[in-house]
Amino acid sequence: MDSEGHPAEDEIALGDVLSALADPLRRRVVMELAQAPPGTERTCASFGLPVSKATLTHHFRVLRESGLIRQVNRGNSRAATLRSQEIDRRLPGLLDLIRAEGADHQRKI
């Protein structure tokens, strides 16, 4: 794990990823990033999650420490990017399932 709390690619573990994705709000963040163009950066606030700032920080820490996202400081905010290539190499097919779930959800709305 680096100094920012990002695990190395070979440290990304299925159990940690599935635990992070078990929460519907965190799954929504990953789903939105997975459906965006590769390399898309979004601030934590841009997801519009209905939670306090402390809870938002917790959710993004869990996503970061599981290896699903990479966060970088952008002034007074942090931007999140999906670690698509690393996830695809470590857990092939996982992001395809998440994208499919997102597409199904959009059709139901």
Give the integer Cα–Cα distance in Å for 30 and 104: 15
Q: 6-15 pLDDT, tens per residue?
A: 999 999 999 9
SS3 of 73, please? strand
Would you say the pTM of this structure is higher than 0.75?
A: yes
Q: 3-59 pLDDT, tens per residue?
A: 778 999 999 999 999 999 999 999 999 999 999 999 999 999 999 999 999 999 999
- Give the domain ranges of the chain: 9-103
What's domain 9-103's architecture?
Orthogonal Bundle (1.10)
